[in-house]
Amino acid sequence: MLKIVVTGSECTGKTTLARELALRHGTTCSAEYARRYLDEHPRLLTADDVEPIARGQRQAEDAAIAGARRLVILDTDLASTVVYARHYYGACPAWVEEAARSRLGDLYLLLHPDVPWVADGLYRDRPHLRDELHASFRDTLAKWGASICDVRGDWDTRRAMAAAAIDRLLAQADGQAWPIPGDW
């Protein structure tokens, strides 16, 4: 099972891209659990919410994986929970960090914050810190040894970059050479 994780800072198009990629590849897509949690608990979150969000995220990922055959698309994963917990509360529970590292995806499509901020009705409150969050995602994933594709540009360019990265991963999994040299 190949796990593709669409991740990054707030309001960069993660949910839309994850759904489009799942549809393109005829596979399942896990939803970002924090979004559901916020719907169920419409208030500002605290550090006490990190663990229930992590448990829900893990369950959402497992359900999507169980329904997939070869490829699954995750709209964020536990790495996002770690990055946001550190960003908002200065720390993350150790078990969440360990679970995130042990459940790494095969490819992280890290969406660059170079698209306009669009409020989505959730408690998104830091449009001015998207570059800082992007760096935190990049640094955390790199430290853990994750494969990262920095997806940037307008919406069509993002779709094309993400699709090409997935096609490359699938070709590699099939033992095929990829015609374009270099990084993701």
Which pair of tokens denotes residue 65? 């994986």
pTM of structure: 0.92
Domain ranges, ordered by start, for the chain: 2-173
Q: For position 175, what pLDDT does the model report? A: 87
Which pair of tokens denotes residue 173? 């999994």
Close Cβ partners of 171 (under 8 Å, ≥ 6 residues apart): 177, 178
- Assign 135 a pLDDT band (cuts: 50, 70, 90): very high
Tell me which architecture the domain covering 2-173 has in CATH: 3-Layer(aba) Sandwich (3.40)
Distances (CA, A) of 2 to 32, 48, 102: 18, 32, 15
DSSP state of 144: T
Q: For position 126, what pLDDT does the model report? A: 67
Task: Tell me the pairing of strands 29-30 and 2-8.
Answer: unpaired
pLDDT in tens, 26-83: 999 999 999 899 999 988 899 999 999 999 999 999 999 999 999 999 999 999 999 9
Higher pLDDT, 129 or 38: 38
The percent of residues in the chain predicted with pLDDT above 90, rounded, is: 82
Higher pLDDT, 83 or 128: 83
pLDDT in tens, 73-113: 999 999 999 999 999 999 999 999 999 999 999 999 999 99
Q: For position 87, what pLDDT does the model report? A: 94
Q: For position 11, what pLDDT does the model report? A: 86
Whole-angstrom Cα distance, residue 175 to residue 162?
20
The CA-CA-CA angle for residues 98, 184, 163, to 5°, reads 95
Mean pLDDT for 105-130 is 81
> Contact, 112 vs 135, CB < 8 A?
no
Q: For position 132, what pLDDT does the model report? A: 93
Q: For position 77, what pLDDT does the model report? A: 97
